[in-house]
Amino acid sequence: MGAVRMLSREIGEPVSFPLALVAITLAVGGERVLDPRFYESGYFAGILAGFILHELAHRQVARRYGMHAEFIAYPPGLLITLASALLPIIILAPGYVRTYAFYGYNPRGFLNSVAAGPAVNIGLALLGIAYHTTTGSLWAWQFSWVNGLIAVFNLLPVPPLDGEKILRADTRLWVGMFIVAAAIYLAV
């Protein structure tokens, strides 16, 4: 019973960010994480920038709308993310930004805070594609691929992912974001 209780405990900031980053790095990097060159790659930079900026975008936009928001690492999600390093599919679910309003629910603020995360990954992927197109940089291609993956995964319309919340609140926004994210991911 004690182990189950430990696994269900949420882990708040500041510890939540490093734990989630390690889990995502291992899931995306797989056996490459043992190679020091991996940490110089666009894959690692994409994970670092894509994950941190995605979660900070959720958090900061929610705060701008007057809501309380913090990144929470969720132990079962961390384990699923780590286990996906051994699977043919990568599952990135180390945690979430917990958001709640002190002064009433703001639908526009909630939608904008949820959409901000995948929007950041789409923007980062587009920047990487632009840089790759002009320079032929493999690093930029890797950076774009990781951010495309993060955007597509988060936009899947499956609870508790961002895509399900966006689809429920604004179908047209979800369709547009998903088409762009999928096109980016398929292009790289």
Backbone angles phi, psi at 11, to 5 degrees: -120, 120
| pLDDT value, residue 30 | 86
The answer on pLDDT for 1 being more than 50 is no
Distance in angstroms (rounded) separating the CA atoms of residues 4 and 87:
24
Sequence-distant (≥ 6) Cβ neighbours of residue 151 within 8 angstroms: 118, 121, 122, 125, 177, 181, 184, 185
Residue-level pLDDT at 104: 81
Non-local (6+) Cβ contacts of 53 within 8 A are: 120, 121, 124
- Distances, alpha carbon 137 to alpha carbons 39, 47, 59, 185, in Å: 16, 17, 32, 17
Provide the pLDDT confidence category of residue 2 given band limits of 50, 70 and 90: low
Q: State how many domains the chain has.
A: 1
Give the whole-number percent of the chain exceeding pLDDT 90: 76
Q: Return the residue matching tokens 């701008």.
A: 64
Domain that residue 123 falls in:
2-187
CA distance between the termini of the chain: 45
pLDDT per residue over 12-26, tens digit each? 999 999 999 999 889
- Average pLDDT rounded to a whole number, residues 183-187: 93
Give me the pLDDT at residue 29, please: 86
pLDDT at 8: 63
Positions marked active-site: 55
CA dist 160 → 19, 87, 168 (Å): 20, 21, 12
Query: Mind listing the pLDDT tens digit for each residue in 44-97?
Result: 999 899 999 999 999 999 999 999 999 999 999 999 999 998 888 888 889 999
**pLDDT above 60: residue 106:** yes
* Residue 170 burial by Cβ neighbours in a 10 Å radius (0-12, 13-18, 19+): middle
The whole-model pTM stands at 0.88
CB 156 within 8 A of CB 91: no
pLDDT tens per residue, range 122-141: 999 999 999 999 999 999 99
Residue 123's pLDDT is: 98
Mean pLDDT of the chain: 92
